[in-house]
């Protein structure tokens, strides 16, 4: 295939696509709005599943590099009631199919697998438009443009490529997550560290939840979920870290102190992240020369599948283009026909808003 592929977005999905194309000798350029790979923190732990994310890494020829960054023991899971009672304490026996890695480490593995000039940093897209005959023009914030015969939007929730295919826009799901970090947890925050254990902590209740991961360097990364409208969060002054953490912790009055410590003892200012989703089953009619992957195509509420699906999208799209080097439209059609139902099925598999006992029952039903 001689047509150069233009990818917008250097997240995990876009980089997986770029790597698979590179493996097959297909020219590719990735345009990324961030100024450099280290422009911002890349998030927390990801569990990379053997039925999607790992399949993508195999297609990319990066399994050895993946195994080298896996954090041992992090597949352990605990479910606690709001009073701190441990209801499930599942150790990591090394047999699970969801090893955990830091998102930033995985992104770096993908970047290191590509020629140095593949990603063009500091290219924020301001507009895209169709030129006809399958060609599209991308305009960047600095006024520069590029014209391509194969454009892939891997640019996340607020994709600038999506309008070429769909009028759908993400909508707030009625829930936000407040992120906190506790550093040197074993020595500085022993009660919270004991509650989290060696891997993941889940302490759910309807409308309120505390999830946490033990990341590398003895860091606890907590996700405090609250089902409230955006105006509710806007009324909290997150610029005042102490007042903000106190206000969020107030919503967990009566919970065990080792759990609320994941809020009140944060070593960084809390960050609120509203959650958005595209309509369930989002799809579009085939438009020559352009497609989407990952959150740009099927943004959903967090359920552990987003990064895995984006990577599988990238791998399968790359494989389809390699299999149909003389027929781009056949490749895009093949990719979309598999991607649409897969993403729609995953969107429906959302964790219910229940208490810890209800969550255990839900897991039991899923395993039958």
Q: Could you tell me which residues are annotated as the binding site for FAD?
A: 47, 103, 295
Instruction: Calculate helix-pair angle for 12-23, 103-112, nearest 10 degrees.
Output: 30
Report the C-alpha gap between 229 and 206 in whole angstroms: 15
Is the CA virtual torsion 247, 253, 255, 258 positive or negative?
positive
Question: Residue 187 phi/psi, 5° resolution?
Answer: -100, -35
The helix (run of H) or strand (run of E) holding residue 262 is helix 257-264
Cβ distance 176 to 225 under 8 Å? yes
3-state secondary structure of 31: strand
Which structure tokens are listed for 323? 């299999």
Contact 10, 30 (CB under 8 A): yes
Binding residues, as ranges, are 40, 47, 103, 295
Residues with Cβ < 8 Å from 93, sequence gap 6 or more?
A: none
Q: Which residues are annotated as a binding site for NADPH?
A: 40
Q: How far apart are CA 101 and CA 320, in angstroms?
A: 28
Return all residues near 199 (Cβ < 8 A) that are at least 6 apart: 73, 74, 75, 76, 77, 78, 92, 100, 213, 214
Angle between helices 257-264 and 241-250 (to 10 degrees): 150
Closest CA to 53 of 314, 278, 342, 292: 314
DSSP state of 41: -
Residues 292 and 136: beta-carbon distance below 8 Å: no
């Amino acid at each position: 295939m001689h047509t150069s592929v233009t990818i917008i977005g250097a997240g995990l999905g876009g980089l997986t696509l770029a790597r698979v194309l590179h493996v097959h000798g297909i020219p590719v350029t990735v345009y990324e709005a961030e100024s450099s790979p280290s422009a911002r923190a890349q998030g927390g732990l990801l569990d990379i599943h053997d039925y999607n994310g790992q399949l993508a890494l195999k297609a990319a020829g990066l399994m050895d590099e993946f195994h080298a960054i896996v954090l041992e023991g992090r597949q352990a899971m605990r479910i606690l009631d709001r009073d701190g009672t441990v209801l499930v304490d599942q150790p990591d026996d090394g047999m699970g199919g969801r090893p955990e890695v830091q998102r930033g480490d995985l992104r770096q593995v993908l970047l290191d697998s590509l020629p140095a000039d593949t990603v063009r940093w500091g290219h924020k897209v301001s507009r895209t438009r169709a030129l006809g005959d399958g060609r599209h023009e991308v305009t960047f914030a600095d006024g520069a443009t590029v014209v391509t015969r194969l454009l892939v939007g891997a640019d996340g929730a607020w994709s600038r490529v999506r309008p070429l295919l769909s009028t759908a826009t993400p909508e707030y799901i009625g829930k936000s997550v407040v992120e906190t970090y506790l550093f040197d947890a074993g020595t500085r925050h022993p009660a919270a560290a004991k509650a989290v254990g060696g891997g993941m902590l889940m302490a759910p209740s309807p409308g309120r939840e505390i999830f946490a991961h033990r990341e590398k360097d003895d860091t606890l990364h907590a996700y405090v979920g609250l089902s409230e409208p955006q105006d509710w969060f806007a009324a909290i002054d997150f610029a005042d870290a102490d007042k903000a953490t106190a206000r969020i912790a107030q919503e967990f009055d009566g919970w065990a102190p080792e759990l609320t410590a994941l809020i009140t003892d944060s070593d960084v200012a809390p960050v609120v992240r509203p959650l958005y989703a595209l309509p369930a089953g989002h799809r579009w009619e085939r438009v020559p020369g352009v497609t989407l992957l990952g959150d740009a195509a099927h943004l959903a509420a967090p359920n552990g599948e987003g990064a895995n699906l984006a990577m599988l999208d990238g791998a399968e799209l790359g494989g389809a283009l390699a299999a149909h080097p003389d027929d781009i439209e056949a490749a895009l059609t093949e990719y979309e026909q598999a991607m649409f139902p897969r993403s729609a099925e995953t969107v429906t598999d959302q964790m219910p808003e229940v208490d810890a006992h209800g969550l255990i029952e839900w897991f039991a039903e899923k395993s039958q």
